[in-house]
């Protein structure tokens, strides 16, 4: 009689030993992998939540001349204007002064400086004919900051 123990193996059949792990080990490994995946996922989610809540606080520190805003007319910084005057790239300079003195601004103080670059055609008085082409010089205090530099450069 042929019993399973006495049965001969055929040529294409291989004899494999039974697996050494039990189902209990498979369950344990599965639980460990599941716990690791949950830990990694929660760490990533927690990181994303904390990064979304961090909002940088703006600081209001003034280190120099005012920064032009998008709605401001086109212009130059004082150093750029002085450099262009030295290079003979400026055709005309307008200096606006405060006629009457007040509590904040003294009489005859410079309140604004504008320049007209060379190459812009004008007829007669440039201040009347090409007012929209003038570039404002960005500065908070033109009377003390930029006016002396412009005056020294023009001389």
Q: What is the pLDDT of residue 89?
A: 83
Q: Is the pLDDT of residue 12 over 60?
A: no
Strand ranges of the sheet holding 75-77, from the earlier edge strand across to the other edge = 75-77, 135-138, 110-117, 90-97
The conformation of residue 144, written as its DSSP 8-state character, comes to T
Place of tokens 């205090």: 141
Q: What is the pLDDT of residue 59?
A: 67
Provide the residue ranges of all domains of the chain, joining segments of one domain with +: 75-154
Q: Is the pLDDT of residue 2 over 70?
A: no
Q: What is the pLDDT of residue 64?
A: 60
List helix spans (H) across the chain.
Answer: 23-53, 78-86, 126-129, 147-154
The model's pLDDT over 74-102, given as tens digits with 9 standing for 90+, comes to 777 888 888 888 888 888 788 888 777 77
Q: What is the pLDDT of residue 82?
A: 84
Question: In this structure, are residues 153 and 89 in contact, taking their beta carbons and an 8 Å threshold?
Answer: no
Q: What is the pLDDT of residue 37?
A: 94
């Amino acid at each position: 009689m042929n019993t399973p123990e006495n049965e001969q193996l055929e040529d294409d059949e291989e004899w494999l030993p039974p697996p050494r792990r039990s189902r209990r080990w498979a369950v344990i490994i599965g639980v460990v992998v599941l716990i690791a995946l949950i830990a990694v996922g929660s760490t990533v989610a927690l990181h994303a939540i904390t990064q979304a809540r961090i909002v940088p606080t703006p600081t209001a520190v003034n280190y120099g001349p005012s920064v032009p805003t998008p709605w401001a007319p086109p212009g130059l910084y004082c150093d750029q204007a002085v450099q262009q005057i030295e290079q003979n790239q400026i055709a005309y300079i307008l200096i606006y002064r405060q006629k009457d003195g007040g509590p904040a601004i003294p009489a005859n103080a410079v309140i604004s400086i504008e320049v007209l670059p060379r190459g812009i055609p004008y007829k007669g008085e440039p201040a009347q004919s090409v007012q929209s082409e003038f570039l404002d010089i960005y500065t908070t205090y033109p009377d003390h900051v930029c006016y002396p530099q412009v005056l020294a450069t023009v001389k």
